[in-house]
Structure 1
């Protein structure tokens, strides 16, 4: 089973006056990863390149961002796959130092930037996401909100004759809340739909 990362790790590598800011971090979706890349581009407007490799459920999104094809994102991907990682984003921000490194030099630099970051990273088990749709009486809304907030889950409520609540988040926390709600309500909260095992490796 692929691993993920417990937290983001950064490293800085300098080769022939070029600086390579390597970073690896866990992500839960392609959208989240691409937003991180967009933020990096805003934070480093003077950088020559912001290259990335994004692995989501085994699918790859990547960009050499103007570096010669195959010299940046592919080497980063190879490092991620060698470590059997998934649900991760690897980025390298390059500040050009005026000396060209050649294709081989670029491959080595981008490989090392991500390998160095991963050397300090802590691997963890994959995050498993879940979702549930509940139907409940208005009397139980405050209980629901309190439990959801304490567990850090996402909550979306629709009001009608009864409350329809959609919960999203980490599967184990979601299962615990469903059990707590049933016990506290005497079983009057109806679970319309539940999927507590949608794995995000």
Structure 2
């Protein structure tokens, strides 16, 4: 994992077309981890349970980097690999694609299937749009109420994404680009004279 930006899809995307009677639907989504990718694959499988095939492929910036694809009952190498190849060629990460197929009565052959599955992912990615994302880090900051105003103003002046929970103490769940995290943590420690309890929750 590096601190450099990486390419991913900007949002959800979809593609629909027919090839010789078979209907193909490409579903593409951002996925921040393997769990998110797997749960999207499961969701599409449930929503399109009546489809002949739901072919998944994903690439996720985990440690180690994870790539996965399945033919889901199509002839070996005709579906999952072509779908994953598109994600590799487009150099997108933290992305999941599922291609749904309703069989139309005509066999397309391995080449025809590979072209259709590739096309469904390509058009899905095009529909979603591609963006460059910087790796982010999450950490939690717990302080007494007296220090919560200082922490909030540091976070706001830094433009950090955060959510605050006011309970016995105030806890800020902070999400910032990895490059900016050390300096931000120092500013919070300095603003609270070291009273803030800062716990890292990892990179995403």
- TM-score per shorter chain, which class? 0.7 to 0.9
SS at match of 1:111: helix
SS at match of 1:19: strand
Aligned equivalents of 2:199 and 2:20: distance in 1? 58
| Paired positions, count | 192
SS at match of 2:24: strand
Say if 2:9 and 2:30, in contact at 8 Å, map to a contact too.
yes
Instruction: Give 1:190 deviation, angstroms.
Output: 1.8
Instruction: Give 1:135 deviation, angstroms.
Output: 3.8
Instruction: Give 1:65 deviation, angstroms.
Output: 1.0
Aligned equivalents of 2:18 and 2:148: distance in 1? 55
Name the counterpart of 2:44.
40
- Structure 1 residues 186, 23: CA separation in 2 closer, same or farther (over 3 Å shift)? same
- Structure 1 residues 157, 13: CA separation in 2 closer, same or farther (over 3 Å shift)? same
Residue among 21, 37, 60 paired with 2:67: 60
Residue among 4, 8, 14 paired with 2:12: 8
Instruction: Give 1:121 deviation, angstroms.
Output: 3.3
Say if 2:6 and 2:134, in contact at 8 Å, map to a contact too.
no
Instruction: Give 1:128 deviation, angstroms.
Output: 2.1
Aligned equivalents of 2:49 and 2:201: distance in 1? 42
Structure 2 length normalisation: TM-score? Answer: 0.76
Alignment of 1:1-201 (within 5 A): 2-57=6-61, 58-140=65-147, 153=162, 163=169, 165=171, 167=173, 169-171=175-177, 186-187=192-193, 189-194=195-200, 198=203, 200=204
Alignment RMSD (CA, Å): 3.4
Q: Where does the alignment leave 5 or more consecutive residues of structure 2 unmatched? A: none
Structure 1 length normalisation: TM-score? Answer: 0.77
